[in-house]
Homo-oligomer: A and B are copies of this chain.
Amino acid sequence: MTIHKAAILGGGVIGGGWLARLIENGVEVSLFDPDPQAERKLGAVLANAERAYSKLTMAPRGARGAWALAGSVAEAVAGAELVVEAVPERLEIKRRVYAEVEAVNAEAIIASSTSGIMPSELQAEMAHPERLIVAHPFNPVYLLPLVELVAGAKTDPAHIDWAKGFYAGLGMHPLHCRVEVPGFLSDRLQEALWREALWLLHDKVATADEIDTAIAYGPGLRWAQMGTMQTYHLAGGEGGMRAMLAMFGPCLKWPWTKLTEVPELTPDLVDLIGGQCEAQSGDLDPRALETIRDDNLIAIMQALKGNGWGAGRTLAAYERKLFAQGAVKPAEPDLAKPIRTVEMRVPPDWTDYNNHMNEARYGQVFSDATDALMRLIGADGDYVAGGLSYFTAECHIRFLDEVAALEPVHVETQVLGGQNPGSVGKKMHLFHSLHHGDGRLLATGEYLLIHVNLDTRSACEPAPAVGARLAEIAAAHAALPQPDGVGRAVGQRR
């Protein structure tokens, strides 16, 4: 069943998140919330979601569904094929709302967003209880993929099957919680951690910030890509989860949390857990999983580095230290030869389906080389912040040889156009040569840049010190031989 029109009851953080996800995927929505501030609050959630969706994927976004605020539950659910319930977490409120729905709509599937109330309780007083399911999302609903699906005793199982397809179509990852327990799966696990956190706060063992640091710089990075079971499967080394249970099983008896009730690790339970962890990983043995885990952790930390946050900031600080201690560039380069502007290894994710560095990454290396040359002449971060910069106007790249992941490369940069010292003016004409660590010439890049005013976005003279420094290098480099490839057009015969 395709959903054309949905109703959402409740416009808080969860209801608003559902609204964003549904209309993003072309569903028409009518939403009711008695809060007089609902429209303003929803506007803020939708603005967040709009911002997020514009960045989430490179694919063309579909046509958005229309939405409107309704004046009542009855108005919202009229004609709806799906009713998303996101009202406060009180059984009596939810049951009252269902009664209002059933008074006017006998057909729609009712999907409760409850974080943990059992659907059997929710549906107990309904006229058509078979249509109630739990579809429990996670904040922010417009981004996080997980949705827990739970049936009550009277739920029609076909609705769970339908829901798996429906929520997957919204870009989500449905998890069918097969056994109905309060809190389902995710919140049982989260709630245990949360209760321990509350004790740590209550007992003044740690502050909120310390408690968060204890997760976000360690276990949380693992949990973003493998859950507790698979993570511990890898803590056992070659022996996997079975070795882990043998090693840390005794700790279960120790007061490592305030929450000390634990099941006994009988041989049967160890066998059940060990077997499930092995089954979970399929063909991937612990060594293969370690490689996947490491790639994921690196990618996550690099992603956070891009945002200047959390473990990404730690990585950035470490990287700055390495750059500082590894700085091979002399403060004053020898101007009697081209300047070494880049020295690096090819990142593995820079390679493409031909198993070599993608052509666009050659451009990136040359862009980095230009930046390094700019810093050398004083057109650095402060200079750009002051409103002046260079824009690239034109380039010509010759791709002469291949280079594979992790191989060492470096760039030598020669400043051209300095035949008449002092005449460089608004232009910067560079010739970059990309070399393999073994000496092979991999590519050349001829670049013409124009000095600009960042306010007017138009050409202007550089600051005197920058212009003078560039002219000085250009004059020195004028003594170097003209490199092979300068002034060539694409396809031109040598």
Contacts and interface: CB of A to CB of B under 8 A. Distances in A.
A396 B489 contact: yes
Interface string A462-494: 000000000000000000000000011111100
Nearest to A274: B208
A125 interface: no
A391 to B, nearest CB: 7
A54 B345 contact: yes
B319 A199 contact: no
Interface stretch (A1-9, A104-112, A152-160, A246-254): A246-254
Given A140-B297, A224-B223, A490 B447 contact: yes
5 contacts: A138-B218, A144-B297, A179-B203, A194-B232, A396-B397
Given A223-B219, A353-B381, A359-B395, A186 B214 contact: yes
- Determine which residue in A44, A187, A257 has the highest number of CB atoms from chain B within 10 A of its CB, and name it: A257
B212 A227 contact: yes
Contacts of A162: none
Nearest to A398: B394
Contact-size category for A: 35 or more
A260 to B, nearest CB: 8
A352 to B, nearest CB: 8
B314 A172 contact: yes
A59 B323 contact: yes
A139 interface: yes
Contact of A363 (B178, B198, B219, B360): B360
Contacts of A300: 224, 300, 303-304
A201 interface: yes
Contacts of A279: 207-209
A303 B296 contact: yes
A191 B235 CA distance: 14
List 10 A-B pairs, minimum CB-CB distance, nearest first.
A212-B227, A146-B218, A220-B223, A183-B256, A60-B326, A259-B259, A59-B322, A171-B318, A363-B363, A299-B303
Given A146-B214, A211-B229, 20 more contacts: A13-B236, A56-B315, A60-B322, A115-B248, A116-B251, A139-B235, A171-B317, A173-B217, A188-B258, A189-B196, A189-B211, A190-B193, A191-B196, A209-B229, A212-B229, A212-B280, A296-B307, A300-B303, A353-B389, A447-B490
Interface string A113-149: 0011000000000000000000000111001111010
